[in-house]
């Protein structure tokens, strides 16, 4: 994939950069290391916030990693609807039999 991205003409790379899709652009070793450092710093900040938050308080969501070339963004978890919760409750309590 890296060889294919590196073979792209400058016009196409510029177009992809303008569309905000970093996974389609070229990344150097230093950019990958910088993304790793950013992820580590965000994780440390998240742990620090969680450690200093009251146990009954709502905790923040874990940080999203910086998007890397060739990696799609994480899929968002779907919220459980009231109807889905009721169906799940019935299944757990023997309603499927």
29-86, pLDDT tens digit by residue? 888 889 999 999 999 999 999 999 888 888 889 998 888 776 666 677 788 888 888 8
* pLDDT computed for residue 17 by the predictor: 67
Q: What's the full length of the chain, in residues? A: 97
Tokens at 83, concatenated:
């109807």
Checking 23-27 for CB contacts under 8 A at 24+ apart, the result is 23/67, 23/68, 23/69, 23/70, 23/71, 23/72, 24/69, 25/69, 26/2, 26/69, 27/68, 27/69
- Nearest-angstrom CA–CA distance, 28 and 22: 12
Higher pLDDT pick, 90 / 2: 90
């Amino acid at each position: 994939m890296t060889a294919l991205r590196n073979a792209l003409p400058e016009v196409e790379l510029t177009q992809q950069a303008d569309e905000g899709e970093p996974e389609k652009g070229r990344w150097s070793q230093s950019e990958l290391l910088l993304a790793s450092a950013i992820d580590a710093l965000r994780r440390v900040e998240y742990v620090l916030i969680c450690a200093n938050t009251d146990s009954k308080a709502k905790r923040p969501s874990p940080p999203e990693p910086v998007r890397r070339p060739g990696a799609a963004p994480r899929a968002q978890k779907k919220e459980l609807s009231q109807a889905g919760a009721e169906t799940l409750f019935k299944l757990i309590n023997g309603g499927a039999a």
